A and B are shown apart, each in its own frame.
Chain A
Amino acid sequence: METEPIVSVADAITAASAAYDELVERAEDVEDEWSFVSDLADAWRARLADVADARGDEPAGSGVADAVAALSAEARAIDDPHRAIDWLSTFPQVLLIAVGERP
């Protein structure tokens, strides 16, 4: 699959969003936590959207493209839905650090 190059902060967030969406799908397999999974994903998507709005045009910075690739691959390697729930929190924190934001 051809991917767009990561040049800006918005590119980084957009590129990472597909892996995050897949993580959400995996986490939703834990039926008892469906509501929490939904709330958690909404909370972090809102934070990422805020960063994209505020700093989206800024250059992504050194190493960010590799960071997004590594982060997305790590998320896709998670097959346990319980671990996926934990990563719904971890994933955006790692992404935000990479682009120079506090979680």
Chain B
Amino acid sequence: MRFQDAAPDARAIVYAGIQADPLVAHVAELLADATLDQRILARAVMNGMSTDPLVWRAMFPRLFGSDTPDGAAGPARERSEAILADSLAVAERGELVRQQVRGAIVEELTERIVRRRAGAGSAEPGVRRERRILFDGVRAEIHPYDVTVETPGASEAIDCKWGARGINADVLHQLDDARSHAAEEEERLIATLVVFDAQRSCDARLAGQTAPHEATRLIALETLDDLAR
């Protein structure tokens, strides 16, 4: 089993520009230390219709109400306001760009939380983006993995999705195939699917899928911080 950079095709070059957008990094930084409620706020706003912050403040009284734990000026409120402002900036993009930016944010967020495994403040050198995994005698998959952990004995292939609807047979097969091919080479590879959506929605999606997924680790909105372990 070996890891390889994905070929820089036209899609990858365009998408690299999206990934490099400073807004992507800023939103991911905010969400990495956000509460579940704040992450759901971001999800709602980035896929919403309204661009008026008053609407969203009304919709989330436990984040923006007068009786929130730290009032109108504490750090939690400040983070909620920052998440709201940046999420609105994403929502104000055109529909296609908005979808691409959202996807890039989930990937960037995933990478940031995974890097915490190495300990506070240090960068896990084996964490990479847009990598393919090659196995002897097996044709390489076309699509690279969004995030990989390339640590001997603890390697991991991670695909990221914005919503439960993004879970499909192709991604489930690719992840399970990678895990099983690694096992054939007596290597351990954890296959992980990160979905920026509720566990309940993911379960509803998975219930209708026949592709193998029992050995794939699902990380939903409620369990994102488990990526650090």
Contact = CB atoms under 8 A, between A and B. Distances in A.
A78 B37 CA distance: 22
Contact of A33 (B37, B44, B59, B165): B165
Nearest to B203: A43
A63 B43 CA distance: 21
Contacts of A90: 40, 43-44, 47
Contact of B197 (A43, A77, A89): A89
B50 A77 contact: yes
B65 A94 contact: no
Interface residues of A, number: 36
State the majority secondary structure of interface residues on B.
Answer: helix
Bin the interface of chain B by size. 20 to 34
Contacts, number: 96
A31 to B, nearest CB: 14
B66 interface: yes
Interface stretch (B141-149, B173-181, B204-212): B204-212
A36 B162 CA distance: 16
B47 A87 contact: yes
Given A94-B44, A103-B200, A67 B61 contact: yes
Given A86-B163, A103-B36, 17 more contacts: A36-B165, A39-B207, A44-B200, A61-B61, A62-B65, A70-B55, A77-B49, A77-B50, A89-B164, A93-B43, A94-B40, A97-B37, A97-B40, A98-B61, A98-B62, A102-B222, A103-B40
